Each structure stands twice: as C-alpha cells, then as structure tokens.
C-alpha cells in the first residue's frame, strides 16, 4: 500500500475501508453538493503574494487561542457517530489531538460519554452542544462542567437536518438498519465489520444513553438530528448566563450575527457552513470571513471551518482573520484509514504544509501572516474586498 501523502490520499483510503453508506455519511453534503464544491473553490481562488528576503530559518506555527497556547492554529471539529468510522473513534480522535497539542471538540452525538472521554483521552477538550430539549441540554452542560470541560460550543446551524441525498439514497438513517443491501456492503468490507463487531456492535449515542433524565423523545430527536427549532437569541443569552466558562457559537455566517454573539458575551464564534451539510447554497465560510472579521474587530476568538484540506488553506484563513480553523472530514478520513495514528498523520501532514507555506510566503511565524500576503483581487467582489482592506489596516 502506498503511504498517503495528503488528505486526498487519506480520503481514497477511507473510501476503500468504509462501507459505502458510512463513507457517504462522512463525505457527503446537502442536496446537489454545490456547497462542497464552493467551499473548496473559495480556497482555491486565492493566490499568495510571497514576500522575499525574509529570515525564515526558524518558524513557529503555535497560536494563542482564548488565552492558551496551542501547537498550531488547528482544532478537531465536533463530528457525530465517530464510532462508525473507527471503534471508539471519539477517543482515537481526542488522543490524536492531544498528541498534536491541539483541542478536540466532542460532539453531543458522540459514541462515548463525555465523562469517559475526559477520563481516557485527556488533553484540551471542548464540548459541543446541540439543543434538542432544554432539560437535556441543561443536564449535558452540568455534566460537562463536572467532567472538567471548560469550553462549550453551541452549534446553531442545525434547526433541522440538511437534506443529504447520498444518505437518503443509501438508506442511511439512525439507528442503523441492516437491510440486505447494507449487509452485502458490510460483507464487502470485512475489516470494518469485524472491528465493529469486536467493539460491541453498532455504536450508541453514549451521552444521551447515559443521561438519567433523558426521555425517549430526546433520543429519537438526536437520531433524526432534529433540534429544538425554537432556540433563539434569548435562549443563547440564558446559556451565557448559566455557563460560567468559555462559550463559543458555531455555525455563524453573517457579520451581524457574529457581532451579536460577541455583544451577548460569547467568547468567540466559528464561521461555518457545517461542511456544506446543511443549506447547500450557504456562503462559503472563507468568502464571508473578512466581513465577519471587520464586524467583530478583534473582539472574541474568530475560528473557521468548512473545506480545509491543506496547510495552505489554514494559512489563507489566518491571513483573512481567523485565529484558528477546525478540521472536520480531513481527520475523519485519517481516522477511517488507521484510527488514532491516521488522524494524527493527517494533522502532521497539514502542519508540515503550514510550515512549508510559511517558509515560502516569507513569514517566520503564523502570527506574521496578513491579508497583504494574498492577492486580494482574487478574493473577489465588493463587500469582501472592503473587509480585507479594513483587516489590512488593523
């Protein structure tokens, strides 16, 4: 087997190793998947303007995020059902993050409980909250605080589940049903099937199952990925009052929403279109980032995800104002290929690409990267260019 040298090679391995419906669950987007292509195009459009004759013999990509120093401007994004990708996938991802010195964000829809993850993985752990039912959310947040999580990520872009047509075609729904077609698919992937059986069968929603107060409806709602669609600003504000630690809002795509989060007391926002899994024609996170940056000035931490596949993508996002980015599918492909080692290898590849980009761009440190390192004409149209100019002056 060839040693994978980039994220795309890990994706190819993931496609081979996972049954089709699991690979498509990870890889797919909403409806016509224009958003998936737009997320990549946003990065690919931007060109670098390398600065020459700068001493880059020593380079540093460590970053300050929310008062803490992390190894690189990277986090692992919250993803549900990681146990389908690799046995105890949540723990494997969290350990890879810890070894790389970056935070791991645990999903509400994880397959190990948040207490078990804290006990077995260690490192900098954040907890992502889906509000399904307010009582359940209360209980999860209290448990997260007791277990030592100090950063809560409220995901606000899943008022209902995106229309993921690959999942619909494949009959992928939770709980996983083993139709004759699914059984054939499983038989064609014996390594995956054997690992699943050895680890106790189809993974469960451990946070919900381990919650005493959880009603059967909450479980069903999470399985359908059906959130409390009435959750609005007042509710977020109440969360801010109740949660005494860091609060981050994930899924923001508008400058005014970002500003409102910060004014409400959030410690930061994640500009994200959920990896193009929700609203197909939502703007690409990178395209709107300069405007969000301009709106928030430097108040609060500004993070971004959706479409990161290369170290150069990370550098572009940082140049346009992101303090750090989250990796979603990239580390999942690594996880599918080789568990913790695969996820860690993906992070290392991206770190190596960041390092090379810094050196060739003429930046000794990731903190030196600025919008002037990008050709803003390629960034595009009016409002975006204005945002870039404002960041540039800051």
Ligand X SMILES: Cc1cc2nc3c(=O)[nH]c(=O)nc-3n(C[C@H](O)[C@H](O)[C@H](O)COP(=O)(O)O)c2cc1C
Which residues would be at the binding site for ligand X (CB under 6 A)? 25-26, 39, 77-80, 107, 109, 128, 155, 250, 272, 274-275, 277, 305-308, 327-330
38 vs 373 by CB, closer to ligand X: 38
Catalytic residue among 189, 274, 372, 373: 274
93 vs 391 by CB, closer to ligand X: 93
Judged by DSSP in three states, 106 sits in strand
**Residue with structure tokens 């890889």?**
27
Rounded to whole angstroms, how far apart are CA atoms 43 and 283?
Answer: 13
What residue is closest to ligand X based on CB?
Answer: 328
315 vs 363 by CB, closer to ligand X: 315
* DSSP state, residue 274: G
Q: Of 140, 156, 153, 161, which is closest to residue 324 (Cα–Cα)?
A: 153
Judged by DSSP in three states, 64 sits in strand
> DSSP string of 14-49?
HHHHS-HHHHHHHH--STT-HHHHHHHHHHHH--B-
* Minimum distance from residue 305 beta carbon to ligand X (Å): 4
Q: Of 233, 23, 225, which is closest to residue 107 (Cα–Cα)?
A: 225
Q: What does the radius of gyration of the chain's CA atoms come to, in whole angstroms?
A: 20
Cα 300 to its chain centre, rounded Å, is 18
* Minimum distance from residue 208 beta carbon to ligand X (Å): 12
End-to-end CA distance of the chain: 49
- H or E stretch at 314: helix 311-319
* Minimum distance from residue 44 beta carbon to ligand X (Å): 14
- H or E stretch at 63: strand 63-65
* Minimum distance from residue 382 beta carbon to ligand X (Å): 27
Cα 321 to its chain centre, rounded Å, is 17
Judged by DSSP in three states, 136 sits in helix
* Minimum distance from residue 21 beta carbon to ligand X (Å): 12
77 vs 350 by CB, closer to ligand X: 77
Rounded to whole angstroms, how far apart are CA atoms 365 and 48?
Answer: 16
40 vs 373 by CB, closer to ligand X: 40
Count of C-beta atoms within a 10 Å radius of residue 189: 18
Mark whether 189 is an active-site residue: no
* Minimum distance from residue 156 beta carbon to ligand X (Å): 9
15 vs 370 by CB, closer to ligand X: 15
Q: Looking at the annotation, which residues are catalytic?
A: 274
């Amino acid at each position: 087997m060839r040693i994978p040298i980039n994220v795309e090679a890990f994706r190819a391995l993931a496609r081979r190793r996972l049954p089709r419906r699991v690979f498509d669950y990870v890889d797919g987007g909403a409806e016509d998947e224009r958003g998936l292509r737009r997320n990549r195009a946003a990065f690919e459009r931007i060109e670098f303007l390398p600065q020459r004759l700068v001493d880059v013999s020593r380079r540093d990509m460590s970053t300050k995020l929310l008062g803490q120093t992390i190894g690189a401007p990277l986090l692992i994004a919250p993803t549900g059902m990681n146990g389908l990708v690799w046995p105890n996938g949540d723990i494997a991802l969290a350990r890879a993050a810890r070894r790389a010195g970056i935070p791991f964000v645990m999903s509400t829809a994880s397959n190990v409980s948040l207490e078990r993850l804290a006990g077995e993985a260690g490192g900098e752990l954040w907890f992502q909250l889906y509000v399904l039912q307010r009582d359940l959310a209360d209980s999860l947040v209290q448990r997260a605080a007791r277990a030592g999580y100090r950063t809560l990520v409220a995901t606000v872009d899943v008022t209902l589940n995106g229309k993921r047509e690959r999942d619909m075609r494949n009959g992928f729904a939770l709980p996983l049903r083993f139709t004759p077609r699914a059984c054939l698919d499983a038989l064609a992937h014996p390594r995956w099937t054997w690992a699943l059986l050895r680890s106790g069968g189809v993974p469960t929603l451990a946070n919900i199952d381990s919650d005493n107060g959880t009603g059967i409806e909450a479980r069903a709602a999470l399985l359908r990925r059906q959130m409390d669609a009435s959750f609005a600003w007042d509710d977020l504000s109440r969360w801010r009052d109740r949660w005494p630690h860091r609060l981050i809002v994930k899924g923001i795509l508008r400058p005014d929403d970002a500003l409102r989060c910060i004014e409400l007391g959030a410690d930061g926002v994640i500009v994200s279109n959920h990896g193009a899994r929700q609203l197909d024609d939502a703007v690409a996170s990178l395209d709107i980032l300069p405007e969000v940056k301009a709106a928030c000035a430097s108040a609060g931490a500004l993070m971004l995800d959706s479409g990161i596949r290369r170290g150069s993508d990370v550098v572009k996002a940082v140049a346009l104002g992101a303090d750090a980015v989250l990796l979603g599918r990239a580390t999942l492909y690594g996880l599918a290929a080789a568990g913790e080692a695969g996820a860690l290898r993906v992070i290392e590849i991206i770190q190596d690409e960041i390092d090379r980009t810094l050196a060739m761009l003429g930046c000794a440190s990731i903190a030196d990267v600025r919008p002037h390192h990008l050709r803003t004409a390629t960034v595009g149209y009016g409002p975006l260019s204005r945002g870039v100019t404002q960041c540039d002056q800051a």
